[in-house]
């Protein structure tokens, strides 16, 4: 039996993201939706991994998110996911960027969410008055978190996968 934690060893986050992008491409191909890779600059500055189009004219940017864990040494979360508000460089994160959609891989499905809908949901629900907690502390929905150990500038909050499921404008089975 494969060790579930092995996939989530330190430094594996990029690999999980790359695998999520490949899975997304495969599902789009199956659904006859055109995909085009983003450039390095589009990925880095616009938080876009892939462009999609159903008519080969208008391209829509997508930032792909793999099914990740909440605790560093734990399994993928059944309930929670981190949403970045400010990135590690101190700049607004992907929910405030230019891409049209964010896809979330969760078990056997991909949930496509309009970025603006997620941004509005976070902005309307986040507790901006909450003390900034270390990500190691107990988890409370909509509180603010930061990886204090690394003196990161990032700001994160927790939401539930059920929130993503409600916000999704499209769902595909993997």
Residue 96 lies in a domain: yes
| Stated pTM of the model | 0.88
pLDDT of residue 70: 84
In 3-state terms, what secondary structure has residue 60? strand
What is the domain range of residue 116?
Answer: 6-173
**CA distances from residue 112 to 42, 53, 57, 154 in whole angstroms, order as listed:** 19, 14, 20, 24
State which residues of the chain have pLDDT below 70: 1-11, 151
Residue 25 lies in a domain: yes
How many domains does the structure of the chain reveal?
1
Residue 100 lies in a domain: yes
- Which element (helix H / strand E) includes 141? none
Residue 167 lies in a domain: yes
Residue 1 lies in a domain: no
């Amino acid at each position: 039996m494969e060790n579930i934690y092995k996939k989530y060893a330190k430094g594996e986050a990029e690999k999980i993201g790359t695998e999520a992008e490949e899975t997304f491409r495969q599902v789009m191909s199956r659904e006859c939706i055109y995909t085009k890779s983003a450039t390095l600059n589009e990925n880095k500055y616009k938080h876009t991994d892939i462009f999609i189009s159903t008519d080969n004219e208008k391209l829509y940017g997508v930032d792909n998110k793999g099914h990740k864990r909440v605790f560093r040494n734990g399994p993928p979360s059944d309930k929670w996911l981190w949403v970045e508000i400010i990135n590690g460089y101190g700049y607004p994160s992907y929910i405030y960027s230019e891409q049209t959609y964010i896809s979330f891989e969760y078990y056997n499905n991909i949930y496509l969410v309009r970025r603006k809908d997620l941004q509005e949901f976070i902005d309307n629900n986040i507790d901006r008055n909450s003390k900034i907690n270390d990500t190691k502390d107990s988890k409370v929905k909509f509180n603010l978190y930061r990886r204090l150990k690394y003196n990161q500038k990032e700001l994160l909050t927790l939401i539930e996968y059920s929130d993503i499921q409600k916000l999704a404008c499209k769902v595909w089975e993997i």
